[in-house]
Chain A
Amino acid sequence: MDEYPDLRNAILTGSAPSAAAAAKKALEGGADPVAIVEKEVGPAMNEVGRLYEAGEYFVPELLLAARATKEVFGILRPLLAKKGAKPVARVVIGTVQGDLHDIGKNLVAAMLEGSGFEVIDLGINVSPDKFIAAIREKQPQIVGLSALLTTTMPAMKTTLDGFRNAGLRDSVKVMIGGAPVTQAYADSIGADAFGENAAAAVSVARKLVAC
């Protein structure tokens, strides 16, 4: 049974102002911020992902829901921090070296943020060294690599090789995605996971930090 159906509905309909208002109202009514995340925000985003996979929602609905949820997290985060609750995980994400396409990577970043992950976006044309420096500095649990072209996809392998050579491969889980990328390619270069689309990337990331 929903305790705060207004919040869940606002996320499902992608209304950031309504979601923010519903979250504030819940807090004013004495709601526990952790319970809001666990009982409403998380299940709402799961439902958004399910509707996308079912072909009922499309990318715009995903993004609107993610934006609404990000707004809610903006309100809840200071309260969650006071209670010692941490983000689901920290993710460093970027488009690999040589590739200038960022829209797919941005969608994944927005969905992850809307699902409670902390996302550090390194942008496009990211060299292995830049990823390695970010791993050392930010200590993420997950690194996400994106490529749009078959011609830039090999840079994913180069990046993973860089992690291995730097002795960092076992300290992070690596997920990859992008139009030409497949599970078979992820397996062939030794990535930990493949996200077929922005919604799938969230469930893949959750599984990576659960194991």
Chain B
Amino acid sequence: MLLRPRGTYSLHAIEAMTARTLTIGGITLRGRFGEFLKGARRAAVFVVTAGGEISRRAKARCEAGESLEGLVLDAIGSWAAESAAQALAVRLGEQLGPGESFTLRYSPGYCGLHLRQQLNLFRLADAGSAGVALTPALLMQPIKSISGIIGLGPRDEVGEHLSPCELCPLADCRMRR
């Protein structure tokens, strides 16, 4: 099967949060939580994946000289991982109380959440159950996977930003929206 989307999450009460730290499940994470999880009372740690087959197929097509097919398969893999994250958010929506909403999704490697935090995220969420593992360089395998944290809290308190770029200091980023 080309795509095998899977995902898992764990939901935690926020034990403590400062501008630069978040404590959940007895573990203190470091990052710009004061901005990204502003207003949150609970935090969901999640891992989703599109599975590994799509990337294996993309690689094989590239190696066979069919780079365009490889590129398209790779893009489908990215789309599938993103779709899995959105599907997980829908599932997580069932956990929202009356008048509650989500914060932005905050993932390691972005905006001050160092890749080292992957270790903590993988401790908090049962990533293995989604078939996702970390490499020694702390990248996820399968590569078309997304990990992160989403805050849940009162709708009028959580930061409802239009774009994460508003919180990002990389002014000359080519991906800025």
Which stretch, A40-48, A128-136, A144-152, touches the partner chain B? A144-152
Is A59 on the interface with B (CB-CB < 8 A)? yes
How far does the alpha carbon of A75 sit from the alpha carbon of B114 in the complex, in Å?
A: 50
A67 in contact with B70 (CB, 8 Å): no
How far does the alpha carbon of A107 sit from the alpha carbon of B137 in the complex, in Å?
A: 24
A98 in contact with B71 (CB, 8 Å): no
Contacts of B172 in A (CB 8 A): 182
Is A160 on the interface with B (CB-CB < 8 A)? no
Residue of B nearest to A102 (CB): B59
Chain A contact residues (Cβ within 8 angstroms of B): what range?
20 to 34
How far does the alpha carbon of A182 sit from the alpha carbon of B172 in the complex, in Å?
A: 10
Known contacts A64-B68, A152-B137, A100 near B143 by CB under 8 Å: yes
How far does the alpha carbon of A99 sit from the alpha carbon of B72 in the complex, in Å?
A: 20
A60 in contact with B68 (CB, 8 Å): yes
A149 in contact with B71 (CB, 8 Å): no
Residue of A nearest to B67 (CB): A110
Is B13 on the interface with A (CB-CB < 8 A)? no
Is B166 on the interface with A (CB-CB < 8 A)? no
How far does the alpha carbon of A125 sit from the alpha carbon of B68 in the complex, in Å?
A: 22
Is A103 on the interface with B (CB-CB < 8 A)? yes
Is B66 on the interface with A (CB-CB < 8 A)? yes
Contacts of A152 in B (CB 8 A): 137, 139
A67 in contact with B65 (CB, 8 Å): yes
Instruction: Tell me what chain B mostly uses at the interface: helix, strand, loop, or mixed.
Output: loop
Tally of contact residues, B, Cβ under 8 A: 24
Contacts of B162 in A (CB 8 A): none
Contacts of A141 in B (CB 8 A): none
Shortest distance in angstroms between B90's beta carbon and chain A's nearest beta carbon?
28
Return the CB mask of B99-117 against A: 1 if under 8 Å, else 0. Answer: 0000000000100001100
Residue of A nearest to B110 (CB): A150
How far does the alpha carbon of A151 sit from the alpha carbon of B139 in the complex, in Å?
A: 10
Is B163 on the interface with A (CB-CB < 8 A)? no
Is A101 on the interface with B (CB-CB < 8 A)? yes
Residue of B nearest to A149 (CB): B109
Is B174 on the interface with A (CB-CB < 8 A)? yes
A67 in contact with B71 (CB, 8 Å): no
Is B171 on the interface with A (CB-CB < 8 A)? no
How far does the alpha carbon of A179 sit from the alpha carbon of B109 in the complex, in Å?
A: 14
CB contacts under 8 Å to B, within A37-76, are 59-60, 63-64, 66-67, 70
Contacts of B65 in A (CB 8 A): 67, 70, 110
Of B74, B114, B137, B174, the residue contacting A103 (CB under 8 A) is: B74
Taking Cβ atoms with an 8 Å cutoff, the residues of A that contact B are 59-60, 63-64, 66-67, 70, 97-103, 106-107, 110, 125, 149-152, 179, 182
Taking Cβ atoms with an 8 Å cutoff, the residues of B that contact A are 58-59, 62, 65-68, 70-72, 74, 109, 114-115, 135-139, 141, 143, 172, 174-175
